[in-house]
Amino acid sequence: MDPYKLLSRSTNLSKGRPKQSRRVAPSDGPPSHPQLFASRDEAASSTLGKRKRDTVRKEADPEDFFNERGKENGSSARQKLESVVGGALDEENDDAEDEGRSQPRMRLSIEERKSILHQHKVKVTWLNSQQLLHPTKRPKGKKVKAEKPRHRLFPEPLQALRNLGQLYGVSGQLQRNIIDQSYDDATEVQLAAIPLLLNTAKENIPELAGSTEKLKIDLLAVAPTGSGKTLAFLIPLLHSVISRRHQASQTEHQTSAIILAPTKELAAQITNEGRKLAKGCGVTVSQMRKGLKLPTRSSSTKETTDDSQDVDDVESTGSVLRADIIVSAPGLLQNAMAECRDLSWQIHHMILDEADVLLDPAFREQTLDIWNALNEPELRVSLWSATMGSNIEDLARSTIDERSQRLASTSTPAPLVRLVVGLKDSAVPNVSHQLIYAATEKGKLMGLRQLLHPTTTTKGASQSLRPPFLIFTQTVERAIALNSELLYDVPAEAGGSSRIAVLHSDLSDTARDSIMTRFRKGEIWVLITTDLLSRGVDFRGVNGVVNYDIPTSSAAYVHRIGRTGRAGRDGGVAVTLYSKEDMPYLKHVANVVSMAQKQQGTEGGVDDWLLAALPKLSKRDKKNLKTHGIESRTARGQIKDPKAARQSRISTKAGFVRRVENNRKGAILGSQRRAQINLRTADDDDEEGEFGGFD
Ligand SMILES: Nc1ncnc2c1ncn2[C@@H]1O[C@H](COP(=O)(O)OP(=O)(O)OP(=O)(O)O)[C@@H](O)[C@H]1O
């Protein structure tokens, strides 16, 4: 029996699909092209040095079910690199600087750069140009008014990642690691961000060409979900750390970079990516874990922790984390920093991934605490996200500004550059959206079952969802309740309840890791979760996202649905189920969907009449919704309005049936309790009856 067929009953499966194989079933989707806004050919023809590009065949990585890149592919890319470099890439030919110097640099005219950047919808703006070009004496204590962005910049776009060594002197080993993972075309964010971060400011900003300082920039980068931001910050970071170690002939690992991410899952993913890229480069990338300590001047090298050390070990020994790059959630790092007085590190780079969350009230204090504690004058900061409100941008700008004022005597202010790919705060363009009205909570459950097991193929009716897919709920309790409702919906022949799982913050770290691994391997097909997984987490083959509870802000919608359609993959579906209760809060979702439809030139997500009819939320209501969600679905709502809370409970059973069941359960428990009491009394009686002897 074909398990895939079972899970997608009544859908027309293509005849050519290979039979059986767990590997083939869920993630067997359409191929992807990592660039979102310009076709490969257009992009290629617009460069000066037009190169032939082979279509890279994607292979499965045995460890990661959704990861299509493999070693074979890596070696073919490597052959390509060798043909470009004009010789075999032998291990000795490792000196990046030499390689860079011997190769002519690619130079594009400003017009050509403009045209490529325009094609890829990349906009680069220099935000503090006035401050740097016309520094005037500021009266002390007065806040500087945010300067209006004036300068557009046109960095030289990097078309292919295989040119990194040739153009920017990236180390041969780092280049090989990139190639071995089959990264070839640079995505939009990479083609602009990598040159901006690898070159000094004066090479990117013509106005600074006369300056003698080798300034690096601070960066605010906003690019769609799944567009490769991780690689865009990791490559320049690793290059910088490798060069610094090389220059200082350092043998010990000394932390010089911090990457902050809002969740442990995302931190683990970044660490993993970092390690793959840093393999053989002599640079260590480690994740901060509970119980680990930061290196102080007095801590001995014996305590050094190894990356492979078990979490429990770490917790019990309280080892010291010695790594060149530390990846962490802000709370963990803040605590570790608070415990150490004389930290021996010198942080030159701080990266905030999902910066808008890290600077949101929930994490703001922790993030700013860490940021302000870093006193290295040359600290360069970059902030990355798919969404960034103007308030977050202002906060970042003022923090950078205050810091440079505080360290004015030792530091030189750096250019602050903003990079935006596509339309700011919009959904990834290759995902199709569906808003489904389900009237009630029970209707939503039925709607979800219809997606799991479609019973009709009528045109216009909601489509089925090809596993694997993610389902988002508002709270942990609802995720658990939905999981127990759906647990037996997958037939035993297709793996049964093992195909569905729930992941939330109340689970232990080990359980969370295990579920993530099983989902990546394709053992779990439907993963129910909360917003814990809505940010940054990359499952390459996820075919769809279901918003069982509507997201509480437009940014939350953009990030949730961004778990599908990664790396330019087509065919991703985002379904939002909404009930009558959701109607007052739907406008922000409908706006994003409508904008995405307009961009794609498609129909079906949201009708104009619905958009016009939906009520607009006041600023206060929006804030409330963002912090608390829809009240009846929370513990607070249960106390405030028990009736509404009962109605929004996730269950297919009627109240009467639930009451009968509860009564029965209560009766069973009661009789068990009574039996135990009887048993105990009988024992006591027996004991009393026995002669215990004289004292
Ligand atoms: N140049 C490239 N070519 C092919 N695939 C790429 C390239 N760069 C990144 N990818 C792949 O794209 C996927 C998404 O990358 P990444 O997780 O960095 O996205 P992101 O922009 O950080 O997304 P999010 O906003 O959701 O955090 C990953 O699977 C990554 O391996």
Same domain, 71 and 156: yes
Top mutation candidate among 40, 178, 230, 558 for ligand 1, by most atoms within 8 Å of CB: 230
Q: Indicate whether 434 pLDDT > 80.
A: yes
Contact 227, 421 (CB under 8 A): yes
Distance 189 CA to ligand 1 centre (A): 10
- pLDDT winner (highest mean) among 249-253, 323-327, 405-409, 680-684: 323-327
Q: pLDDT digit string (tens) for 63-119?
A: 444 444 444 444 554 454 444 433 344 443 444 444 444 443 557 888 999 999 999
Q: Are strands 416-421 and 122-126 parallel, antiparallel or unpaired?
A: antiparallel
70-79, 161-170, 322-331, 382-391 — which is least confidently predicted?
Answer: 70-79
Q: Indicate whether 308 pLDDT > 60.
A: no
- Position 116 scores a pLDDT of 93
Q: Indicate whether 25 pLDDT > 50.
A: no
Q: What residues pair up with 527 in beta bridges, in sequence order? A: 470, 501
Q: What domain range includes position 387?
A: 40-135+144-252+343-353+365-421
Q: pLDDT digit string (tens) for 341-383?
A: 778 788 999 999 999 999 999 899 999 999 999 988 889 999 9
Query: CA 69, CA 149: separation in Å to the nearest integer?
Result: 40
Q: What is the interface pTM, i.e. ipTM, of the complex?
A: 0.99
- Position 254 scores a pLDDT of 84
Ligand 1, atom 30, residue with closest C-alpha: 228
Is residue 571, in this structure, part of any structural domain at all?
yes
Same domain, 370 and 515: no
Q: Identify the DSSP state of 569.
A: B
- Alpha helices, DSSP H, located in 11-162: 40-45, 71-85, 96-102, 110-119, 129-133
Type of residue at 163: N
Ligand 1, atom 15, residue with closest C-alpha: 228
Give the confidence band of 144 by pLDDT, cuts at 50, 70, 90: low
Is the CB of 561 within 6 Å of ligand 1? no
Contact 220, 192 (CB under 8 A): no
Q: With pLDDT > 70 as the criterion, what percentage of the chain qualifies?
A: 74
For residue 269, the ligand 1 atom closest to its alpha carbon is 17
Is the CB of 516 within 6 Å of ligand 1? no
Q: In a 10 Å sphere around its CB, with 0-12 CB exposed, 13-18 middle and 19+ buried, how is residue 174 labelled?
A: buried
Distance 35 CA to ligand 1 centre (A): 10
The kind and range of the H/E element at 659 are helix 655-689
Same domain, 638 and 673: no
Is the CB of 229 within 6 Å of ligand 1? yes
Ligand 1, atom 27, residue with closest C-alpha: 536
Query: CA 235, CA 36: separation in Å to the nearest integer?
Result: 20
Query: CA 408, CA 597: separation in Å to the nearest integer?
Result: 48
Is the CB of 565 within 6 Å of ligand 1? no
Same domain, 509 and 400: no
Same domain, 82 and 202: yes
Distance 616 CA to ligand 1 centre (A): 34
Looking at residues 611-632, what average pLDDT do you find?
Answer: 83
Is residue 61, in this structure, part of any structural domain at all?
yes
Question: What's the pTM value of the predicted model, to 2 decimals?
Answer: 0.80
Top mutation candidate among 183, 357, 426 for ligand 1, by most atoms within 8 Å of CB: 183
Same domain, 394 and 494: no
- Position 150 scores a pLDDT of 66
Same domain, 105 and 209: yes
- Position 97 scores a pLDDT of 42
Type of residue at 266: L
Q: Indicate whether 490 pLDDT > 90.
A: no
Peptide bond preceding 468: is omega within 30 degrees of 0, i.e. cis?
A: yes
| Counted domains in the chain | 3
Q: pLDDT digit string (tens) for 175-234?
A: 999 999 989 899 999 999 999 999 888 888 888 877 777 789 999 999 999 999 999 999
Same domain, 557 and 609: yes
Query: CA 184, CA 162: separation in Å to the nearest integer?
Result: 6
Ligand 1, atom 10, residue with closest C-alpha: 228
- Position 686 scores a pLDDT of 57
Distance 623 CA to ligand 1 centre (A): 31
**DSSP sequence for 236-299:** HHHHHHHHHHHHTT--S----EEEE-SSHHHHHHHHHHHHHHHTTTT--EEE--TT-B--BTT-
Distance 318 CA to ligand 1 centre (A): 34
Ligand 1, atom 23, residue with closest C-alpha: 226
Is the CB of 648 within 6 Å of ligand 1? no
Same domain, 483 and 506: yes
7-21, 275-289, 445-459 — which is least confidently predicted?
Answer: 7-21
Q: Name the more confident of 74 and 559.
A: 559
Is the CB of 536 within 6 Å of ligand 1? yes
Distance 680 CA to ligand 1 centre (A): 64
